[in-house]
Structure 1
Amino acid sequence: MGRTLCRDKTQDTFDVYANGPFALFGRQHELVVGASYSDAESDYTGQSPVSINNVVPDLLNWNGDIPKPAWAAPTTVEDQSSSQTSLYATARFKPTDRLAVIAGGQVVDWKQETTGFNGRGPIDDESYQENGEVVPYLGVVYDLTDHHSVYASYTRIFQPQTVRDINNQILAPEEGNSYEAGLKSELNEGRLNTTVAVFRINQDNLAESTGQPIPGGPANAEAYRAVDGAETNGVELEAAGEILPGWQVQAGYTYRITEDPDGDELNTTSPEDMIRLSTQYRFRGDLNGLTIGTAVSWQNKTYAFVTRPGASADYKFVQESYTLVDLMARYQVTATLSVGANVSNLTDEKYFNNLGFYNGGYYGDARKYSLNMDYRF
């Protein structure tokens, strides 16, 4: 039995910017310039109990207390600090009434340091640093009609990571390029919005879970590996808004697949296909104040390769596709008071939502009921 005690974790973020219009070639455009800084510090201690007694001698007379155990000397002590400074600028150009071009970027300095010791020995001022990373962005939007627009965008990816590999070393920042194109539409006099999009993401240092704990690392810390040359391709369909008076709908379908340069699938614990649908209807007339709704989510199968005791090869642990259904009802009693009821996982679906971690998985929540009351002063 181990323990991680988080003694302190703080984060400070500052952002300052200025924006305004400017004239160029006889047309009005917009410009935003700014700077941001963030600093995060955390420390934790990992140690195990020497002795612990969690037996309840008399349940009927138990006061809820369990004696505090004696703890052994810490096996892990780590102090970590990270900071990021960014200078950014974005310009929105309007060459014509129907065409908009958004161009910008940021210059990033990032640093992370860790000191202390773990199960592998002292951490000798573990430090990672990237300076002058340029992250550009370019987007184009063209209005086909008053209700339909096509768009395309590109951005470079630079994302510092906090996950660690099997040697308890932090993975280098994720880098790559992201491309997206699509069609946005307004229907029902602008009350319903739809989007059809395709995207491609190329990544180096993509973090993929190994499902294994980190020897000598923080408690419950999972080891990751960095994959170069990963490529993600996908499609997204979305619709949100009011389809009839009082009837709100949100619906979406996402397909995405990530593969390494050899064509092998990555991040298989995330589904390739997902469908999300939620709807709410607010009654009028005699039932005015009553709102009912439902949410349905579906995803296809996922899997992870795990190691079983006594087995000579990895076992393919599969979570088949599943559907979750939630229900809600709310009644507005007065302008300030409402009452509601919710049912989550109506069909009591049994599924794993953390597949592969520690060569296993965790069951998702079973069917659950809740009542609530909201009063606003």
Structure 2
Amino acid sequence: MTFKKHYLAQSISLILLTSVAASASAEDQAAVKLDTLEVNAQDNNPDSYTAPDAATATKMNLSLRETPQAVAVITQAQLDDFNANDLNAALDLTAGVTVERIETDRSYYTARGFDITNFQFDGVGLPTNTGNLYGDIDSAIAERIEVLKGANGLMSGTGNPSATVNIIRKRPTEEFAASASVSAGSWSQKRLEGDISGSLTESGNVRGRLVVAGQDGESYLDRYEKQRSLFYGVLEADISDSTTVTLGHSTQDTHADSPMWGALTLNDTDGNAFDYDVSASTAADWAFWDNKVDSSFVELKQDLPANWQGTAVLNRTKRVSDSKLLYVYGSIAADGSGAVAYPSLYDKTETETSLDIYATGPFQFAGRSHDAIVGIQINRSESEEESVYANPRTSGTNLDDVLNGNVAEVAIDGSTSGGKWDYAGESLYGAGRFSITDQLSVVAGARISQLEIEGESYGKTKNSSFKGEVTPYLGTVFDLTDQHSLYASYTQIFDPQTELDVNGDQLDPVKGSNVEFGIKSEFLPGIIATASVFKSQQDNVAEEVGKHKNPDDSEGDAYYRGIDGVTSQGFEVDIAGELLPGWQVSAGYSKFKVEDADGEEVKKEVAKEMFTASSQYRPGVLPELKVGANVKWQGETENTKVTQKAYTLVNLMAGYDLTKNLNASLAINNLTDEKYLNSLYWDQAFYGAPRNFMAKVNWTY
């Protein structure tokens, strides 16, 4: 799709006009007395479980209290304390977010009943919205991870009313800093990590940072092993007093031996649940799944007149997936007969490019100071995938042979299928934070989007085109006192879908609205608590209603219908910060329900009640010691095959500062050895990890 030239011209003109207007009022701005910047010790505390601000909602770096939506922040301390070395483990620490581990090397994420399809790096959204992740994202690149709850129409334009995950990448520091750690644990798990940062010139105008990580190990799952390596380098240069350029690149390689494609068939032909060991896996010993991700970015920040700043960010990411997998399914009897073994080769290459240009700054109106942002975002992606199947499929396989890895490797040279499609999207967005009174502020804005998808996937067209889609956003915050604020927000929902109906036609986009009300409190500096209620209403939500039959009478692709009047409503309570000297806490409880227009419950496979808490404590009498715990309780879930009862996971950690620069720690995960299914997102599932440990030695300078 060709981007309309006048669209780009209008966008640039809008940014320039805003800058000129700001420049014209420079003298007035100079006369405005700036608010005193308060810096509390919590901001510089390496043990902190909260952050002073978040930019995911508006890019205006509002404080958590000034943001009219619920926001959770996973800090560096939380990542380190609980060995959250990848995105899945990090989001496990977030209240209200469920990591749907459907396979060993593919995951989905849900919040408030719907898939999380909005992901950002440093506030810039990715152009695709499939919501699934192949392999891992190593968290060593992250300074912190922000999770904005609810819809995010202003900064993304599309997506579910679930959440937006924003990974804030590490940046160079002016002062020299370095760290290195070595970890070892259950199932021969090993990890090395290094991080060095500082100025590269005497004046400090050029700074650099290098992060490397590597891990290797076996698994609690039979035959499964994984190796992962990460390189991340970033340079930052002040080319003038008002201009900073940043260049960054990361490469991550993941190699998995004997990964699962699909998972365990849960019931036999009589409907009785199979009694599997926690270690049970359907993967063959010859199976593998390799994933490589190369990501580069260039960022330009330019100071403008009247305290405005312009930013331009260009991101480019290439993902390459290569695999040889075994899928096991069928009508399996209690004695294990009837299983079908289905080998396949799968390759996918995806290239994503995004350009985001925006300007932020203050302006004067009616004798008061306000803030604004205006910008343009251009996204492109190209995807190509191919599957090669074995012919014929191996029917009559015994389940015991599968679980023991006794499925012989065969030539995979049968039928071939796949897809190739392109995505193009452009958006204009703008918003203002208006200070109506000293107590009342209003955030108002809108995003205008157009997008086009061309191509096909596995014989089905993916063609769709939408122009002039307007996504408004309105939020307000009212300060009751210096510590307590009421807030409310509203945004519309527009979410294109790729699901197909029984005739093979693509479903129309989901449309709806999302509202949220709440109260935020700062009982002490560095402690933020939020209580919120929310409701979203959507039309044309995809619901699976059946599966096509393949020529050999096996199950084929699923087909869907669109359901109107789907509502998700509930409440959340969160608190994060230093409750007492040396005691850090991040905790939250969420409960909601999802119903169709007839009041019938839908999305039963998604956990609708959850409690998550992470805590860390340094006793004043022995400050070298640090102890902590993470508890996650999840309510009952079910799919068409099985019910997963509510369960609780308990993780413990303890660390000790051997010297000023050297620390040793030990973590025990799943202390009670709970047996549970990772996810009921699909009909098949596999079990979570049993009790395990990880020891780490960390050096910092």
* TM over 0.5, shorter chain: yes
Structure 2, unpaired ranges of 5+: 1-341, 394-406
1:198 counterpart (525, 528, 533): 533
Question: Which stretch of the first structure deviates more once superposed, 26-35 or 171-180?
Answer: 171-180
- The equivalent residue for 2:419 is 78
Q: Is 2:572 the partner of 1:247? A: no
Q: Write out aligned runs for 1:183-262 (5 A).
A: 183-187=519-523, 189-208=524-543, 225-262=561-598
Counterpart Cα distance in 2 of 1:146 and 1:253: 25
Pair 1:322-2:647 in alignment: yes
CA distance in 1, matches of 2:500, 2:671: 38
Looking at structure 1, the residues matched to 517 and 538 of structure 2 have their Cα atoms a distance apart, in angstroms, of 18
Superposition deviation, residue 139 in structure 1: 0.6
CA-to-aligned-CA distance 1:191-249 (integer Å, 9 cap, x gap): 32111111110012324456969969xx9976654322101110111111111111001
Question: Any conservation in 1 of the 2:521–2:530 contact (CA below 8 Å)?
Answer: yes
Give a deviation string over 1:304-328, Cα, whole Å, max 9, x none.
Answer: 123xxxxxxxxxx211111111112
In the alignment, does 2:435 pair up with 1:94? yes
Separation in structure 2 between the aligned mates of residue 278 and residue 364 of structure 1, nearest angstrom: 20
From the superposition, tell whether residues 221 and 149 of structure 1 become closer, same or farther in structure 2 (CA, over 3 Å).
Answer: farther
Find the partner of 1:277 among 582, 605, 613.
613
* 8 Å Cα contact 1:325-1:345 kept in structure 2: yes
Distance 1:167 1:375 in 2: 60
- 1:41 is aligned to 382
TM-score w.r.t. the length of structure 1 is 0.82
Report what 1:367 is aligned to.
691
In structure 2, what is the equivalent of residue 313 of structure 1? Answer: none
Range 29-38 or range 330-339, more displaced:
330-339
CA shift in 2, pair 1:51/1:267, >3 Å: closer
**8 Å contact from structure 2 (residues 391, 415) kept in 1:** no
Q: Is the 8 A contact 1:22 1:30 kept in 2?
A: yes
**2:392–2:414: 8 Å Cα contact kept in structure 1?**
no
Deviation at 1:333, TM superposition (A): 3.6
- Cα drift, residue 112 of structure 1: 1.5
Measure the CA separation in 2 of the matches of 1:91 and 1:130: 26
Counterparts of 1:97 and 1:272, CA distance in 2: 38
Counterpart for residue 115 of structure 1: 456
Deviations for 1:80-115, whole angstroms, at most 9, x for unmatched residues?
A: 222221100001111111110110010011222223
Contact 1:4–1:44, Cα closer than 8 Å, also in 2: no
> Residue 28 of structure 1 contacts residue 94 of structure 1 at CA under 8 Å; is this kept in 2?
yes
When residues 194 and 7 of structure 1 are mapped into structure 2, their CA distance, relative to the original with a 3 A threshold, is closer
Name the structure where strand makes up a greater proportion of residues. 1
Distance of aligned partners of 1:271 and 1:349 in 2 relative to their CA distance in 1, 3 Å threshold: same
**Separation (CA, whole Å) in 2 of partners of 1:296 and 1:69:** 45
Aligned residue in 2 for 1:312: none
Asked if structure 1 preserves the Cα contact closer than 8 Å seen for 2:540 and 2:564, the reply is yes
User: Match for 2:482 among 146, 156, 161?
Assistant: 146
Change (3 A) 1:76 1:166: farther
AA paired with 2:697? M
Aligned to 2:362: 21
Question: What CA distance in whole angstroms lies between the structure 2 residues aligned with 1:114 and 1:255?
Answer: 40
Cα distance between partner residues in 2 of 1:221 and 1:336: 56
**Which residue in the other structure is 2:682 paired with?**
357
1:339 is matched by which residue type in structure 2? A
Contact 2:344 2:412 in 1 (8 A): no
**Structure-to-structure mapping, 1:152-163, within 5 angstroms:** 152-163=488-499
Pair 1:339–1:156, CA change in 2 (3 A): same
Which amino acid counterpart does residue 564 of structure 2 have in structure 1? D
CA deviation profile, 1:241-261 (whole Å, cap 9, x unmatched) = 111111001111101101000
Q: 1:356 to 1:278 in 2, by over 3 A?
A: closer
SS across alignment from 2:474:
strand
Residues 198 and 130 (structure 1), Cα distance of their counterparts in 2 relative to 1, 3 Å cut: same
Contact 2:378 2:427 in 1 (8 A): yes
CA–CA separation in structure 2 for the residues paired with 1:342 and 1:171: 47
**1:262 and 1:7, CA in 2 relative to 1: closer, same or farther beyond 3 A?**
closer
Partner of 2:144: none
> How far did residue 155 of structure 1 move?
0.3
Matched residues, number = 345
What do you get for the CA RMSD once the two structures are aligned? 2.9
Partner of 1:296: 631
d(CA) in 2 for partners of 1:190 and 1:230?
40
**Structure 2 CA distance, aligned partners of 1:294 and 1:6?**
40
The answer to whether the 8 A contact 2:345-2:412 is kept is no
Counterpart of 2:4 in structure 1 is: none
Would you tell me which structure has more helix in proportion to its own residues? 2
Greater shift, 142-151 or 365-374, is seen at 365-374
Q: Call closer, same or farther: CA 1:236–1:77 in 2, change over 3 Å.
A: same
Structure 1 letter corresponding to 2:425: Q
Higher relative contact order (CA 8 A, sep 6+): 2
State the partner residue of 1:55: none
Q: Which runs of 5+ in 1 are unaligned?
A: 53-65, 307-316
Deviation at 1:372, TM superposition (A): 2.6
Distance in 1, matches of 2:625 and 2:392, equals: 55
Distance (whole Å) between structure 2 residues aligned to residue 376 and residue 223 of structure 1: 54
Q: CA deviation at 1:375?
A: 3.9
Residues 1:2 and 2:327 are matched in the alignment? no
Q: Measured at CA, do residues 15 and 288 of structure 1 come closer, stay the same or move farther in structure 2, by a change above 3 Å?
A: same
Contact 1:211 1:356 in 2 (8 A): no
Q: Describe the shift of the 1:169–1:94 C-alpha distance in structure 2 as closer, same or farther (beyond 3 A).
A: same
Change (3 A) 1:170 1:232: same
Larger mean Cα displacement after TM superposition, 290-299 or 141-150: 290-299
* Whole-Å separation in 2 of the counterparts to 1:128 and 1:336: 56
